[in-house]
Structure 1
Amino acid sequence: MKDFLKRQFLLIRKDISDYLGGKIDLNKFIGNLEAVSEIIQDKKWKEVVFPIILGLEQINAGSIEFGDFLTEHDEILIRESMRALDIEVERFLQQIPDS
């Protein structure tokens, strides 16, 4: 189970990298994050990630409404969310015992 959880958190990290590298769009990132968060099944994780997902969903909805256009402000908020998410991923990874 420990290795399974680690893989899920590493998938989130990969998706952060893929989004920032332009390999996936924000909508795909959010969908992946929601799916992996459901798999993780940890109440504390959900409490941490829910506000991040909500913020990203609001940005995504606005961009879809205006033809998939992200403002500079949107981009800043997304990068801040990705940074916060990566910090939380690291924190949760550190809590998983090695063996």
Structure 2
Amino acid sequence: MEEFLQRQLDLLNSFICEYKDGILPLNLFIQRMEGIVAAVDSAEFRDSTFPILLSMEQINADAIDNSRKLTDSEKDIINKSMVELEQLGDAASRNRAFFKSQATRQ
């Protein structure tokens, strides 16, 4: 299980880098992050990432719905969200109990 969790954290960091480098579009980044959250199956991880990803999703949806690029203020919010996700990944790396799933606690 330890290897699996490390792989998810490595993917999280990889996706953040790919987004920052312009390789990964925001929509695909969000989808991949949602995949990591589902794979990890941890209430703490899900609850911690939910508000971050929701904010990103709302910005992304508005841009897509209005066929426009992100504004500078939206880019700032997304960049802050990326920092929050990086910090969350770092915290999770230091504290693996963060990843305990509901199934393992029962």
Smaller-chain TM-score bracket: over 0.9
* 2: CA distance, partners of 1:68 / 1:27: 13
8 Å CA contact retained: 1:49, 1:85: yes
**Under a length normalisation based on structure 1, what TM-score does the superposition of the two structures give?**
0.94
Structure-2 residue corresponding to 1:5: 5
How far apart are 1:96 and its partner, in Å? 2.7
- Which ranges of 4 or more aligned residues in structure 1 deviate by more than 4 Å? none
Q: Which runs of 5+ in 2 are unaligned?
A: 98-106
Q: 1:68 to 1:12 in 2, by over 3 A?
A: farther
Structure-1 residue corresponding to 2:96: 96
Structure-1 residue corresponding to 2:45: 45
SS at match of 2:22: coil
1:63-82 alignment runs, 5 A limit: 63-82=63-82
> Among the aligned pairs, what percent are the same residue?
31
* 1: CA distance, partners of 2:3 / 2:61: 34
Render the CA deviation track for 1:32-68: whole Å, top value 9, x for unaligned.
Answer: 0001110001110001000011000000011102214
Q: Which runs of 5+ in 1 are unaligned?
A: none
**Under a length normalisation based on structure 2, what TM-score does the superposition of the two structures give?**
0.88
8 Å CA contact retained: 1:19, 1:25: yes
* 1: CA distance, partners of 2:68 / 2:86: 25
8 Å CA contact retained: 1:12, 1:33: yes
SS at match of 1:22: coil
Equivalences, count = 97
